[in-house]
A and B are shown apart, each in its own frame.
Chain A
Amino acid sequence: MLLEIDNLKLLYGRIEALHGISLHVEQGEIVALIGANGAGKTTTMKAISGLHAISGGSIRFDGTDVSRLRADLRVIRGIGQSPEGRGVFPGMTVLENLEMGAYTRRDKADIAKDLAMVFDLFPRLHERRKQAGGTLSGGEQQMLAVGRALMTRPKLLLLDEPSMGLAPKLIQQIFEIITRINEQGTTILLVEQNAQQALSRAHRGYVLETGRIVKEGTGQELLHDPAVKEAYLGVA
């Protein structure tokens, strides 16, 4: 098991946002985490990457307990994230943003190879490589955030709403790329509002409701679950 979360609790001040969630991700999987606004999806991502301390439970990654590890050290262990809102460094060029992804890595040849791979996935980023991140369009920033996370060469890639703000055609494209990244060997935990796409691409999925996991199953099971259909797929 690559990622194993057990009874995870997290407090924002005195308010508990996660009330003990458990989930796991196997090597090679795409796992989708879906839920309404404010359910706690981003919070779960922050707990996994270490941006917010947890108040209970545990997070095991690749065989070790990382619950109390600093965020930057979790990156070195192999947890890469494309955060909600993209987090593009506005004053850095596209290329510099991508190089930031390789901040902890030393092997120049390896980095160059990954850079070529990212440019291959997102040719648009190559065209714009000298442009400041802050001047990219929303969709381009999204590509940059995903590409930059790949530059950390993650064992586990956390994607927080990669389709947010994208045109329908681009949404299709980004999900195809997610599948491709996965086929090239990267395990993915995917948070999405676009439950239809996410569940049809994912091996398994979890449904999060106000800080609790209320349902889990394979992507297909959840896709055909009446309650999920009604709540998240917009079909009565």
Chain B
Amino acid sequence: MDFAELVRGFPELTTTGLVQGAIYALIALGYTLVYGVLRLINFAHSEVFMIGTFGAIWTWAAFGLDSNSGAPSVGRSLLLIALAIVAAALLSGSVALLIEVTAYRPLRRRNAPPLAFLITAIGASYALMELMGTLTQRRQIGSPALLPADTLFSIGGWSVTPVQMLTLSVAIIMMVGLDWFVNRTRFGKGIRAVAQDANTAALMGVNKSRVIALVFVLGGLMAGVAAVFSDMKSGNTRYNIGFLLGLKAFSAAVLGGIGNLRGAAIGGIMLGLVENYGSALFGSQWRDLIAFVVLIVLLMFRPTGLLGESLGRARA
């Protein structure tokens, strides 16, 4: 164990951990939203994210930028990032809605047992992954450099790059916005009502199908935003990027308490930090192992996750 490495790298490990955690958290929200309302693990959500990573890169390509282009001016970069966020969010949101309407809704109509949903989720996930794999010849696709890679500001040993700053700010805005939407608006109230008691919600005049569609779209939007920052963080994407990232984001959702929005956010951030600190301590080859061991151990002590409430019960 290399404590010196952990101590020396602590500021940097914290920043990069927070950034990775923010990406996990944004994806985790989609798992938790759908679970809260349908008690369904939407395994295809990882591919909703994956398609978003391509959506962003295609958007940039449409403006003539690829991994070999030089970085545009800061103003133009910010504009391109904003455009990519909108495009990826819309694309991911649409894909999520499409999955709900074509795969899950017919099952609900026929009162299918939970196992049918699970298999459909896994099937939809692989189908989308293979579709994108074929379309992109299973190649890794690079993302253009957009913001300068140098330090934006540093306090003591703590330095933050523009991309990191932007990732964290946008992630926080998205999460606060979602929290507000679910807890404060009429539609949000409909979501919470269906999550707590779907039949009674119908007796209040809530259209369950519309709430379910909304929840898929919201989760998709969040995953699309995460996708843009994932592209900028790692500099590329691939058809199978959703597999491990999705699994970790799902773990983050469980870690925080599946069905609980704030839990998903906290779980994501925690996972990002823990695997960073852990890999400094034990070596980076252990990163993924650490992430999942922490999950297993934590669940032994807190089987319902850190916050452990359902979406419906989560209150402002």
Contact = CB atoms under 8 A, between A and B. Distances in A.
Nearest to A76: B205
B196 A92 contact: yes
A91 B313 contact: yes
Interface string A95-138: 01001110110000000000000000000000000001010000
Contacts of B193: 89, 92, 100, 103
B313 A100 contact: no
Contacts of B5: none
Given A50-B202, A76-B205, A103 B186 contact: yes
B189 A96 contact: yes
Nearest to B315: A91
Nearest to A93: B315
A92 B197 contact: no
Given A72-B208, A103-B186, A81 B310 contact: no
Contacts of B208: 72
A186 interface: no
B113 to A, nearest CB: 13
Contact of B205 (A89, A104, A134): A104
A62 B164 CA distance: 61
B199 A83 contact: yes
B189 A72 contact: no
Interface in A143-170: 148-149, 152
B199 to A, nearest CB: 5
B314 interface: yes
Contact of A81 (B201, B203, B206): B203
A99 B189 contact: yes
Contacts of B186: 103
A137 to B, nearest CB: 19
B196 A152 contact: no
B312 interface: yes
A90 interface: yes
Contacts of A103: 186, 189-190, 193, 204-206
Nearest to B310: A91
Given A99-B189, A100-B189, A103-B186, A89 B203 contact: no
A104 B203 CA distance: 11
Given A103-B190, A132-B315, A71 B196 contact: no
Given A83-B200, A87-B199, A75 B205 contact: yes
B199 A89 contact: no
B238 interface: no
Contacts of A148: 204
A37 to B, nearest CB: 20
Interface in B298-313: 309-310, 312-313
Interface residues of A, number: 29
B203 A87 contact: yes
Contacts of B201: 100
Contacts of B314: 91
A193 interface: no
A38 B196 CA distance: 26
A89 B207 contact: no
Interface string B237-262: 00000000000000000000000000
A91 B192 contact: yes
Nearest to A96: B189
A51 B203 contact: yes
B297 to A, nearest CB: 29
A44 interface: no
Nearest to B195: A91
Given A91-B196, A100-B189, A70 B315 contact: no
Given A89-B192, A91-B313, A91-B314, A51 B197 contact: no
Contact of A51 (B189, B192, B199, B310): B199
B199 A92 contact: no
B256 to A, nearest CB: 16
A104 B207 CA distance: 10
B203 A83 contact: yes
B196 A72 contact: no
B206 A89 contact: no
Interface in A48-81: 49-51, 70-73, 75-76, 80-81
A132 B310 CA distance: 14
Contacts of B190: 103
Contact of B203 (A49, A90, A96): A49
Contacts of A50: 202
A49 B205 CA distance: 11
Contacts of A49: 202-203
A134 B313 CA distance: 9
A78 to B, nearest CB: 11
Contacts of A100: 189, 193, 201, 204, 206
7 contacts: A75-B202, A75-B204, A90-B312, A91-B192, A91-B315, A99-B189, A103-B193
Closest 4 CB pairs of A and B: A87-B200, A91-B313, A104-B205, A75-B205
